[in-house]
Amino acid sequence: MTKWKLDGEGPLFKQFQRTVIQQIVEGEFAPGDRLPSEAELMQRYALSRQTISKALSELAEQGLLERNKRAGTTVAKGFRERFLMPVKDISVEVGERGGVYEYRILALKKVRNGDGGLRWNDLPMGAPFLYVEVLHLADNTVAQHERRFINLTSVPKAADQTFEREPPGMWLMRNALWSWVRRRITAVNATEEVARLLQVPVGAACVTLERRLYHQEEAISIVYFIHPGDRFALDGDFGLAVSEHPLETTGRPHIA
């Protein structure tokens, strides 16, 4: 419990929520584990009962916790299935449908933020990140093109990865801590370059999915997927409303 500290940013109940989420994500509290009593939490953090109760009740409403007057507050038993599984790698989705999955690494390089026109506004200029471009196939048909940025300050071991054994999305889910994800979906028409990558006619309807992965306020990864419109299915989403971090779409690198 020594790791439970308020970060000093934003409203107190949001700070407290972030400490709770961090401990759950890092495994200090497993599904079904009981949190300390409100009285103990009040004393430990010098917070009012109202602040503690508001924070825990909101997390319970979001499905992260379960509240019971007799049993106290526990981590929801379905937490992992409900919140971690929606961030599935396409390889898992293809396998679940009974298809044959393949992927090809098209580009892989370490860059500094701002170099070569690659700009990630969540990171300071010059910060190191890994850039990877992947083509995903289902039953020998292109299902998705991926452009991914991984923050090497947050996930330093990504710097040595070749992703020959598993695609970057799956590797990241196993090797990086994260607490929430934000998605944005838009419809576009295929440019010549997109048409070539996805093997569709120029002007064909496509869907782009932007996914930003965070651990508390720290950017972990940002990825841009583009799918042929007739090969896209929307999955679930996950986002605990505990961050003060701005999420405007910025600095998107274009495929064409």
The confidence band for 182, taking pLDDT boundaries of 50, 70 and 90, is confident
CB 212 within 8 A of CB 220: no
Please give the pLDDT value at position 83.
55
Q: What's the CA gap between 110 and 7, in Å, rounded? A: 31
Q: What's the CA gap between 32 and 42, in Å, rounded? A: 22
- CATH architecture for the domain at 12-81: Orthogonal Bundle (1.10)
Spans of all domains in the chain = 12-81, 85-231
pLDDT (tens digit per residue) in 55-68: 999 888 877 899 98
Check: pTM over 0.85? Answer yes or no. Answer: no
Please give the pLDDT value at position 251.
32
- CATH architecture for the domain at 85-231: 3-Layer(aba) Sandwich (3.40)
pLDDT (tens digit per residue) in 197-249: 999 999 888 888 899 988 877 899 999 999 887 665 544 444 443 333 322 33
Q: What's the CA gap between 191 and 207, in Å, rounded? A: 13
